Structure 1
């Protein structure tokens, strides 16, 4: 296990960088030369490399929440998943906490038939070795598979969280054991709203991937977000964007942005993919279209979207209470 940075050193080396970024906007750090190439067909989602995993993952990927997590809507969930796979979406993200297992169960109904078409990711919210081992056994049963392509430490919120996961008999020790046994292939880290804690995490351990929130409003209260993106890129991590619409809050302000803008904004950064929760088959079609038509936005375009979002972020505090 590679655990390389103590908390005191981390705080000292990152505080000045975050202060320098201020509220200039995340667009100010974009380097167009680092945006990974993508290519698709008229009917299929384009793809990018998922960091050091070397897997080619669709730009739009399927999140395991929304309709997919509802146990009573298994038929609709299966239709959504099948349609996504038919259109070339090949990454599905879930977790045992989504729908109290309903998400994994619904996804498993499709995995029983189409497992070889999917890079399948789930998570452990337990920070201990034994708890993680119990969770993955349940996840594998619900997902109807004997392995996961990616297993992630779920929802890191603080330095203490990552230290517990990395400690002796912690979650990461269990994940390393599972990887050595071929039960999982890659190890990742996720977090919703504390880029500083995530940055501490990826500086402390060589995770393969990171799942992080990325939308035009976050930068106005999360100054470490740019540093997190750049550090993950330096480490060749697969960077997976989530919450690209701030749980649809950026659509609740008089039509502030469209999905073309929301997804285009996120994909204009050096991320591998964006996972999105889906409520209908029609949304799958629409998101594949947006991914297929995507072209990287200029710094000016990204900055203009941030400026459109900023007043609503300040007035209603949407983004801080979105998750």
Structure 2
């Protein structure tokens, strides 16, 4: 397996440089609370390096007041990107976000997804998503969670989801098109090779590199194509965090942001978590290759864990 030091050196650039520079806040962004920003590929958007994921408390219909408070706090602290999906909370995430979008839509680059691989299914889904999100357009619409090559082939077929997305883009219902995947970087490489997506949403953390790393060939390919690269699962679904894990949130988020990504989306459970992640983002300085390797070493699995993931990944 390629080491992190080798992967970063192979890209020929540090994470911040690859993502378009340190993205200092301009005078026009005085309300951003000094949240660093980076270029989101070819979209033209300068995105906060910490962005809000639509899972955790945000997706729970029975906790609407808490969800709205979290979303408002994130925006107040300079977050300007929100990612959601109709699958999160059975539409609860989109509905909760929609309550805030009804009054703060212009502050947000808003992204949702289609889990349907067909033209007709995608057209039905976006109509529902727009209604829940209380908006008439999305800044980004994504093919959700491609896992196997057949997912890509279906979505790109003559009556596939991508054809629907192209029509929606021509009608200005969506502004950009993306693809997402948690499981297999090779499937995502197939997707971004066969179609010129604007963004890719991928897993990137210090734990999963020991099983199936996304921060090697896939990251290099996406950077070459000048895509907006959005990272998720920065804590490996909390598997690598202390206590019981190996690293702190500052190390986990800093690790991910040290690669050539535009932003990292994080699901939030409390106002305290929003504030913590915003603070980490504001204080972020890219880790060296040695520091990245040290964090990876702390997350190295025991042999029984390695064997489990080898056979179940």
1:93 pairs with one of 43, 61, 83: 83
Cα-to-partner distance string for 1:156-189 (whole Å, 9 max, x where unaligned): 0011110100000100000000000010000000
Q: In the superposition, relative to structure 1, how do residues 319 and 91 fare at CA in structure 2: closer, same or farther (>3 Å)?
A: farther
Stretches of structure 1 lacking an aligned partner (at least 5 in a row): 1-21
2:18 pairs with one of 18, 34, 39: 34
Match of 2:261 in 1: 271
Q: Does 1:316 align with 2:300?
A: no
**Contact 1:247/1:322 (<8 A) preserved:** no
1:65 pairs with one of 49, 55, 68: 55
Distance in 2, matches of 1:189 and 1:146, equals: 21
| Range moving further from structure 2, 74-83 or 36-45 | 36-45
Distance in 1, matches of 2:205 and 2:24, equals: 23
**Contact 1:25/1:220 (<8 A) preserved:** no
RMSD: 2.0
Match of 2:3 in 1: 25
Cα-to-partner distance string for 1:238-271 (whole Å, 9 max, x where unaligned): 0000000011110156351011100000000000
Q: In the superposition, relative to structure 1, how do residues 302 and 52 fare at CA in structure 2: closer, same or farther (>3 Å)?
A: same
Match of 2:119 in 1: 129
Aligned partner of residue 148 in structure 1, secondary structure: coil
Alignment of 1:35-54 (within 5 A): 35=19, 36-40=21-25, 43-54=33-44
Aligned partner of residue 310 in structure 1, secondary structure: coil
**Contact 1:129/1:174 (<8 A) preserved:** yes
1:193 pairs with one of 179, 183, 186: 183
Q: In the superposition, relative to structure 1, how do residues 298 and 50 fare at CA in structure 2: closer, same or farther (>3 Å)?
A: same
Match of 1:233 in 2: 223
- TM-score with structure 2 length normalisation? 0.91
Shift, 1:45, TM fit: 1.7
- TM-score with structure 1 length normalisation? 0.88
**Contact 1:96/1:103 (<8 A) preserved:** yes
Shift, 1:319, TM fit: 7.2
Q: Does 1:183 align with 2:173?
A: yes
Distance in 2, matches of 1:58 and 1:146, equals: 23
Aligned partner of residue 211 in structure 1, secondary structure: strand
Distance in 2, matches of 1:315 and 1:166, equals: 39
1:164 pairs with one of 154, 160, 163: 154
Aligned residues between the structures: 300
1:257 pairs with one of 247, 254, 257: 247
Distance in 2, matches of 1:115 and 1:165, equals: 29
Cα-to-partner distance string for 1:68-115 (whole Å, 9 max, x where unaligned): 000000000000000000111000000000000000000000000000
